[in-house]
Amino acid sequence: MERQTDLRVQLNAEEEERPVIIRACDMCRKKKIRCEPTSQGCGPCTKYGTRCHFTPIATKRKPRRPAGFRYIAQLEQRLLGVEALLEDRSLGKPTVTDINRRKKQTTPVALLNTAADLSTLGGYVTDGLWPHPAPELRPASLPALQPLPTKAFAQKLVEDMFSNYNKYLPLFDEEDFLTEFHLKYESSSPRDAGWWACLNVVLSIAHRLRSIRAADPTQDHNLAYGYVHNAFSVISELNVSDRSLSAVQALAGMACILQGTPDPAPAAMLVAAALRLAQAMNLHRECSSPGLTEAEAEKRRRVFWKVYILDKDISLRTGRPFGQDDDEMDVRLPSSSSFEDGNLGLFNCRIGLALVQGQVYKQLYSVRAGRQTAAQRAIAAQELSTLLSYWKSSAQSYLPEDSTTLSGLPLSGEMIHKVVLRLTYLHCLTMIDRHLAPMAQPSSYLQLSMSERLSSSPPGSLCVTESRKAIRLVEAIPQGDCACVWMLLHAFFAAASSMLINLSRHPLSPDATSDLDLVEPFLRLLETLARDSSTLSQSEELARMRRTCNRLNFEAKEAIHLFSTMPPATLA
């Protein structure tokens, strides 16, 4: 009873507090006309002589809701959900024994790599040409942290890396690295982010080099990806809090490894981070720190040029802007003080090609170039073709011939770098060739019959000639080196597409059948890579290349078949 009495009192109080609003008299409300109250009644009632009476009406209004009440309601719902989850987990609390077992299996260091995701390093399905599949790397397939090998075995790996990869594309200084190796290896941990990342990058590259020579490279692949997984665990420290030369080297080294994956985007991001860090340290300027010794300045030059090569190469491959403008740098080329003559020449040749690659993107594929007319781009392409031809004449000794690469013998480390150099040159050449204007045909070519034109290539078919040389190198790729396949896939695609387009235009060429046979191994390679659905989903470029090559191959075969069955009289 008391509760009901209180409720009635509360309702009466609310009715007393409810505002009473008088808007119009009874007659004006009934006629639905405007009421104009005066001292003697409203205007309409006075005019028509009617009784003017105002009946008070209480309006019912809902209480005003506070600002942001919906957001508060959402927060309350989320809080209820979190409380429910906590209650569910509290029902299955681990015992003290379970907690101790987890502490033994998981160290605090392992918690650093929770953000590292190696899903970009997809699996690789092979055929007879590359018979050993690389592991499909997912966060669940790798340990939290790959244990480091013994110091003696690690030293052998370091020596392998410096006698092969680093000898031709110097990223680390061997003397400095070995000094740090002997001082810090036993206590290596992610707390020293720069050293930890550099060490694991070197171990990863060494295992990748060993996988090329191994009969079964599966174990080396797993170890290589495990060590790069270790390096990934300190990426945030390298980007944010570690401004040192070792941080630039580590980021660039990880980018080199990720170049050989189906998706080039992670490598591009790492190169951009390394380049920004290098610019913050003024590695792009020659006289940035007058107090540096010549040896220290030389190390900085080599690291900068290595990052520069990666930047321009990935830019042209992916069609995205590069990070270092040539007008914003004045650093000198590396000197021969710590190089063998041949190795320095190979490195400087790669730098020269990177300079050309940057100009090709800037003048032919940038946003500014896209706003120019086709004639303007054709003029720029002709100038770039001359520049690339000049580079080739100076680098002729570093471009391998078919007889040396297709001898059937395992390729040396130097020869692998030269093969990569030739294919990079071919890719750059095809990117220029797409914008070259059709050459004016000489009168002798115009006087040929239709059959003679279809059976002979027009003058200036340098791109097709170089493509024939490059496409043969598919068979020279080391067995088991799936990373090399992904890194060179764009170059092989450029060579194959150039040859197939030329076959469609000149189906009666005497080289038609041999050209189709040359392209066939690359087409089989694309089909092999596309068999793995996870790999295909990671690489949009692979799907595009496969569709384009299959279409061009079909058109070339149709053209050859069509013109081979036509009577000779129709071609006269």
366 lies in some domain: no
The mean per-residue pLDDT over the stretch 318-344 comes to 81
3-state secondary structure 264-285: CHHHHHHHHHHHHHHHHCCCCC
pLDDT in tens, 132-155: 444 444 443 444 578 899 999 999
Residues 148 and 240 in one domain: yes
pLDDT confidence of residue 506: 83
Pick from 294, 320, 335: which residue ends a domain? 335
124 lies in some domain: no
* pLDDT, averaged across the chain: 78
pLDDT confidence of residue 404: 56
Residues 182 and 290 in one domain: yes
Among residues of the chain, what percentage have pLDDT more than 90? 33
Residues 180 and 302 in one domain: yes
Q: pTM (2 decimals)?
A: 0.71
User: Who has greater pLDDT, 99 or 223?
Assistant: 223
**Tokens describing residue 370:** 């896209």
Domain CATH code at residue 27: 4.10.240.10
Pick from 58, 82, 109: which residue ends a domain? 58
Residues 199 and 321 in one domain: yes
pLDDT confidence of residue 568: 56
pLDDT in tens, 276-330: 999 999 999 887 667 788 888 889 999 999 999 999 999 999 899 999 999 999 9
Residues 329 and 474 in one domain: no
51 lies in some domain: yes
User: Who has greater pLDDT, 159 or 506?
Assistant: 159
CB-based contacts of 448, cutoff 8 Å, min separation 6? 456
The mean per-residue pLDDT over the stretch 323-349 comes to 80
Residues 222 and 315 in one domain: yes
Residues 53 and 149 in one domain: no
pLDDT confidence of residue 442: 40
pLDDT in tens, 429-450: 999 998 887 754 444 444 444 4
pLDDT in tens, 25-71: 888 888 888 888 887 888 888 888 888 888 877 666 666 666 666 77
Contact 27, 67 (CB under 8 A): no
Domain count, the chain: 3
Residues 140 and 53 in one domain: no
DSSP 177-198: HHHHHHHHGGG--TTSHHHHHH
pLDDT confidence of residue 156: 94
Torsion, Cα 384 385 386 388, to 10 degrees, reads 80
**Tokens describing residue 553:** 């191959």
pLDDT confidence of residue 570: 53
Q: Which domain holds residue 553?
A: 455-571
DSSP 54: -
pLDDT confidence of residue 379: 93
Q: How many Å apart are CA 496 and CA 553, to the nearest integer?
A: 9
Residues 44 and 165 in one domain: no
pLDDT confidence of residue 403: 52
Q: Is the pLDDT of residue 178 over 90?
A: yes
232 lies in some domain: yes
Q: Where are the alpha helices (DSSP H) in 110-192?
A: 151-163, 165-168, 174-184
3-state secondary structure of 338: coil
Among residues of the chain, what percentage have pLDDT more than 70? 74
35 lies in some domain: yes
Pick from 335, 370, 405: which residue ends a domain? 335
Q: How many Å apart are CA 487 and CA 420, to the nearest integer?
A: 9
pLDDT confidence of residue 65: 67
pLDDT confidence of residue 70: 76
507 lies in some domain: yes
Q: Is the pLDDT of residue 253 over 80?
A: yes
Q: How many Å apart are CA 152 and CA 548, to the nearest integer?
A: 50
138 lies in some domain: yes
**Confidence bin at 480 (pLDDT 50/70/90):** low
Contact 491, 424 (CB under 8 A): yes
Give CA angle at 458 (456, 459), nearest 5°: 125
Q: How many Å apart are CA 330 and CA 350, to the nearest integer?
A: 18
Q: Is the pLDDT of residue 88 over 90?
A: no
Q: Which of 140-149, 476-485, 489-498 has the lowest mean pLDDT?
A: 140-149
Residues 54 and 161 in one domain: no
CB-based contacts of 183, cutoff 8 Å, min separation 6? none
Residues 51 and 200 in one domain: no
User: Who has greater pLDDT, 178 or 72?
Assistant: 178
Helix (H), strand (E) at residue 20? strand 20-21
Q: Which of 122-136, 245-259, 327-341 has the lowest mean pLDDT?
A: 122-136
355 lies in some domain: no
